[in-house]
Structure 1
Amino acid sequence: MQSEVSPSSSVLLVEPFYGGSHKQLIDLLKENVDSCSVFTLPAKKWHWRARTGALYFSQTIPSSQSYRVLFSSSVLNLCELVALRPDLARLKKVLYFHENQLVYPVRRDQDRDFQYGYNQVLSCLVADVVVFNSHFNMDSFLSSIPSFMKKIPDHRPRDLDQLIRPKCVVLNFPLQLPDVSRLLPEHKRLRWTTETSRLDDIITAQQQLSGEEVNHQSGPPTPQTPVSQVKPLHIVWPHRWEHDKNPELFFKTLLRLKDKHLSFHVSVLGETFTDVPDVFQEARCLLDSHIVSWGYLSREDYLEVLCQADVVVSTSNHEFFGVAMLEAVHCGCFPLCPKALVYPEIFPAQYLYSTPEQLCKRLVGFCRRPDVARRHIVTVDTSCFSWSSLKQRFQALLTDECP
């Protein structure tokens, strides 16, 4: 349990699952919003945090007449907290959805616990503002409420989505995008600093990214090709080591590249939690000679690997925003994402694949011509997702003015 209490604080930041993007957001708000008190629980045993966090916080958050705003992620059962603590019910209550439990993937439908989604619906009903990190997150949640409530055997509530919708806004997760120029290899620095003068190269590279395999011409590189361009393609997968990120598809694709005797390097990054899928250990053995980096890294080392990589891949079955993909793009990586979930909201069509076969085909082409990925300037403006761009909207959210 972490708590930072300011005697005259006007903003309560409450986070039952203080890890990953949940931690990043709370830390960012704490650093940039005046008069905050912070109450968190460690990022362990997510299900128990969702079940019992409200009761715990009801006993640990001190009473204060100075509180004006309560901000929490949707892991918290806000309905329980304000019922147990009526003094908090008078605050402006802001609920932030990093994900939603109505469409969060489970391995088997019978594994889905009705209570978690139900708690989120109840929390929305008592919140004053319901904030989603993407339109996909908001739309999938609201559109799923009617069918979700049909699981109740009888005496079902009605029109809950219509009650919640007027409270909803989309406010993207704010990225902290540091200056990584010192970490960039030469070809990325040159690409960024000479962007306008290399228009012909950019057009050529983008024409070659139509989804067709690039014809490979054997032989040494031309004199105009920098040495760095003939290194094997470096593929990075920077996601949580859990089944919903579909690591099985990623590793299956890499093994297909290996079977084709293609040259490539791979870095598998991201956080691990209690249960790590077996496929990670199996893949580490099978891909050992291709591995550059494996496992969770410090922030500095993580950014350095992203800067050295060429292509970043998502194989997710679930994604409501995708911090890691945008961080990798900021570091100069070419993104390959499923044509589903939140990705079409953020990435143009040339970075999306529809089938595992398309993903493999794109990576085969890049392995044969890594310079194509390295010359390409990604047409995604990551700055619009930065804290500097979103700061004023978050600060306004945490005033006690009516939404």
Structure 2
Amino acid sequence: MATAATTASTDSTRRLPCPAGLAGVVPRNRSSRVGATVRHSSTWGTRFGEFRPDGDPHLWVSVRPKPPGAEPRPVGRVEWRARQFVCWWHEHSASARGACGVAGRARCGPGVRADGGASFAGVRDQLDVILVVPWYGGSHRAWADGLASASRHRIRLVTHRDRFWRWRFQGGPVTLAADLTAEITTGGRPDCIVVSSLTDVASLVGIARRELAGIPVGIYLHEAQGAYPRTSGARRPAMEEPAVLAEWRSLCAADVVWVSSPFLRESLGSSLRMVLDRVESPTHLHLLDRVMERVRVLPPGVDLSWAGGTPEPGGAGPPLVLWNQRWDPDKAPMRVVNALAHVAARGVDFRVALVGEVPEHSRTVFETARRKLGPRVEIAGHLERSAYLELLGHADIVVSAARHEFFGIAPVEAMAAGCVPLYPDRENYPNLIPERYRPHCLHHDHDLVPRLTELLTDLARWRNSTSGLAGEMQRFDWARVAGSYDRELARLARYGHAGGEERGPM
């Protein structure tokens, strides 16, 4: 049984008797598995003190109150500092299950049944994860917030605003490193760190190397900078090639790499090969295949909790056609608008909703689209979330002609709401739609107008052909994918303790 410590310590922690039930929480050696679930038989949180594990003259444990300003947690965390385990504990009921883990490279050992009944029960359930989001806006923000809400792990966010994407790559690592260091100082070392798109992870890790020593780092890519579409004959802007190379360095530096879709994985490999083929000797091409072998597909979760039940047919009146993407050239909004204008010229009756974020550089295109379709446009521009979900419930058809879609959150939402889709047979759209629905849901550029005409003039038949598609979208709901994320985060955390079999390309 553990006894109260009587020797001096470098800490200013008060020395009190070991709290009942805590003795078995003490790791007995550093070579065992990280983490364990701990069951407590007593309620305590304000008691703290210092004691030595039974029979080990080299270790002692400090039990302290939570740091000022720290977020309350219903779990304990064990942290290795020199030859000392530091435990932060917070009050919870006797029936609660706390998680005991080890930050840095220390590991929990086998549990010892102690007075109070504390014991280990295998790898712990909850990890401490810092999620760095350099572009905290739009779909990136929705993904980060969704993961933080759905994961069983504790997710701490470090974010930058969604502005100036080029500068996020060039200057972001400096300010993100400062913010990350501050978070670790105030909240403690995490089990792992995940960084999402739009920064140079290699630079970030290098700048914060002292604070990040031993912490595994993963990267989640929403996009590939070298795979954005170009107009015919256009050269890639000089400012964008450094972003592609920053992406390459990030892949090499990360312990684990995830991408949002099979299409993105393929696009990432192709774009990197194209850029690396142009660099000076020594080339990195011989490393590319090995790095890409480590890239795993992990689709972003989508909040579809609102989409339960069987979709109802659209309301009274002509069919409502929805276009629900960002007003940027890569989404080709005018291709859809022009196609709808051709269908209208044939005398087909329909209504239109043109919704989505309208950047300042696309304001002229947006106004042109509204004028071209005239009174058929019932709703246009950006909508608040509640209004957007209400619109999804009334729309009959969703259409796109996008030249770029690395995943497609807006398409998933529209299909989950019961819209009959008409999407391009390219990008990631075929991966979203099960094979049996693809003949009814995918189009080619040359047949967009006739396919739209068929859809609008015989909507009931097309509804019948796509029956069940809405339910297929539930596989992307956070309730379904959160478990995959939690397992991947646990896999990442293990690299910090086992040295990692996938560190970099070398």
Same fold (TM over 0.5): yes
For 1:45, the equivalent position in structure 2 comes to: 164
* Cα 1:89/1:116, change in 2 over 3 Å: farther
For 1:393, the equivalent position in structure 2 comes to: 484
Task: Name the SS of the counterpart of 2:482 in structure 1.
Answer: helix
For 1:143, the equivalent position in structure 2 comes to: 270
* Cα 1:371/1:104, change in 2 over 3 Å: same
TM-score normalised by structure 2 residue count: 0.66
Determine the C-alpha separation between the residues in 1 that align with 2:440 and 2:141.
29
Q: Per residue, is there more helix in 1 or in 2?
A: 1
1:90 is displaced (CA, Å) by 2.4
Determine the C-alpha separation between the residues in 2 that align with 1:93 and 1:401.
11
Q: Structure 2 matches for 1:2-401, cutoff 5 A?
A: 6=71, 10-33=128-151, 34-61=153-180, 62=182, 63-64=184-185, 65-86=188-209, 87-107=211-231, 108-111=234-237, 113-180=240-307, 185=312, 187=313, 228=315, 231-276=317-362, 278-347=364-433, 348=435, 349-380=438-469, 381-399=472-490, 400-401=493-494
1:261 is displaced (CA, Å) by 2.2
1:41 is displaced (CA, Å) by 1.2
Deviations 1:237-290 (A, max 9, x none): 110111110112111111111222221111111123342153211111121210
* Cα 1:47/1:273, change in 2 over 3 Å: farther
Deviations 1:136-177 (A, max 9, x none): 111221233222212224432232322312321111111110
For 1:198, the equivalent position in structure 2 comes to: none
Determine the C-alpha separation between the residues in 1 that align with 2:175 and 2:460.
54
Q: Which runs of 5+ in 1 are unaligned?
A: 189-227
Contact 2:402–2:424 (Cα < 8 Å) also in 1:
yes
Partner letter of residue 90 of structure 1?
G
For 2:16, the equivalent position in structure 1 comes to: none
Task: Name the SS of the counterpart of 2:421 in structure 1.
Answer: strand
Q: Which runs of 5+ in 2 are unaligned?
A: 1-68, 78-126, 501-506
Determine the C-alpha separation between the residues in 1 that align with 2:129 and 2:308.
36
Contact 2:201–2:250 (Cα < 8 Å) also in 1:
yes
Determine the C-alpha separation between the residues in 2 that align with 1:66 and 1:325.
38
1:329 is displaced (CA, Å) by 0.7
* Cα 1:302/1:375, change in 2 over 3 Å: same
Determine the C-alpha separation between the residues in 2 that align with 1:114 and 1:302.
36
Contact 1:312–1:333 (Cα < 8 Å) also in 2:
yes
Contact 2:224–2:268 (Cα < 8 Å) also in 1:
yes
Determine the C-alpha separation between the residues in 1 that align with 2:387 and 2:414.
13
Determine the C-alpha separation between the residues in 2 that align with 1:160 and 1:274.
41
1:101 is displaced (CA, Å) by 1.1
1:379 is displaced (CA, Å) by 4.5
Contact 1:353–1:359 (Cα < 8 Å) also in 2:
no
Identity of aligned residues (%): 26
Instruction: Flag the structure with larger Rg.
Output: 2
1:351 is displaced (CA, Å) by 3.9
Structure number with the bigger relative contact order (C-alpha 8 A, sep ≥ 6) is: 1
Task: Name the SS of the counterpart of 2:362 in structure 1.
Answer: coil
Partner letter of residue 267 of structure 2?
S
Task: Name the SS of the counterpart of 1:72 in structure 2.
Answer: strand
Q: Which has the higher mean CA deviation after the structures are superposed, 332-341 or 355-364?
A: 355-364
